Amino acid sequence: MPELPEVETIANGVQARIHGQTIRSVWTSNKPQTFKSPPDEIIEALTGSRIERVHRVGKTIVVDLSRRKKPAQFLVHLGMTGRLLVSAPDTPVPPHTHAILALSGGQELRFVDARRFGRLSVVAPDTRYEGPGAEPLTVALEEFIGLFRNRKTPIKAALLNQSLLHGVGNIYADEALFHAGIRPSRHAGRLTRADLTRLREALIKVLTEAIQLGGSSVSDYVDADGVAGFFQLHHHVYSRTGQPCRVCATPIKRIVIGGRSTHYCSTCQK
């Protein structure tokens, strides 16, 4: 599943290619799972609108639109296998394509999703999508510390709770806890101020590095150019069960927390 850095990479790639263009026409597959807003509503909001900006909020790609000075937003949630591709119209349409936006620049923006956990929707004019939780790259220290106060769940589960912080998934939760030296099983509410200060810094560091490297390619996503990212080369613990820790050579352990695979070093993380 794409995480925050992958979604940001895709949003930035799409923004660079299509911002400022007008949507000439829209085709939808009308498969019910994919459309969180009725397809007719999406077609109505998008057709004739200008794409002002494509950006990321949490794990959602947000397309800011304007038409007759009325702002609207088109939301793309990639789910497990969703891809947003900028393609020439003569490029064969891949199987499982659910939406095609024909653009004034001559290209098409296509949403392709084999497993159909992705979602397309539009936000009513004059409302702004802000997502369910705090933004991990910009959350202030005091707000970050407050998120975990009195939480009885393991810190790993709290990091994955999208209503607290949005956009952090399994890979970057494990990596951030490694860099902060914190065991994933520790109760979130018992972490000290110093622990949470290190954790916030570690989270910002791993997410920022992953964005700079173009996101991970562990799941079957490619960015708008079809080029996979390569952050997995830099993983310290994620998916490295039994391999030596890159810092102390202790074999990396795997446990399950909240139903999710969790990887850590029993020497480096306390």
Residues annotated as catalytic are 2-3, 59, 260
Q: What sign results for the dihedral spanned by CA atoms 171, 177, 183, 186?
A: negative
The answer to the question of residue 268 lying near Zn ion (CB under 5 A) is yes
The answer to the question of residue 16 lying near Zn ion (CB under 5 A) is no
- Report the residue number whose CB is nearest to Zn ion: 245
Span near Zn ion by CB under 5 A; candidates 14-22, 80-88, 226-234, 260-268? 260-268
Q: How far apart are CA 27 and CA 137, in angstroms?
A: 35
Q: Is 77 helix (H, G, I), strand (E, B) or coil?
A: strand
The answer to the question of residue 267 lying near Zn ion (CB under 5 A) is yes
In the sheet with 70-77, reading across from the earlier edge strand, the strands are: 50-57, 60-67, 70-77, 119-123
Residue 159 vs 265, nearer CB to Zn ion: 265
What letter would DSSP give residue 22?
Answer: B
**CA end-to-end span of the chain:** 28
The amino acid occupying position 163 is S
Q: What is the nearest approach in angstroms of Zn ion to the Cβ of residue 236? A: 8
Q: Write the DSSP string, 11-29.
A: HHHHHHHHTT-BEEEEEE-
Residue 104 vs 267, nearer CB to Zn ion: 267
CA atoms within 13 A on the CB side of 79: 17
Q: What is the nearest approach in angstroms of Zn ion to the Cβ of residue 240? A: 11
Binding mask 200-239 for Zn ion (x = CB under 5 A): ----------------------------------------
> Which positions from 236 through 255 interact with Zn ion, judged by CB under 5 A?
245, 247-248, 250
Using CB under 5 A as the criterion, which residues of the chain lie in contact with Zn ion when the complex forms? 245, 247-248, 250, 265, 267-268
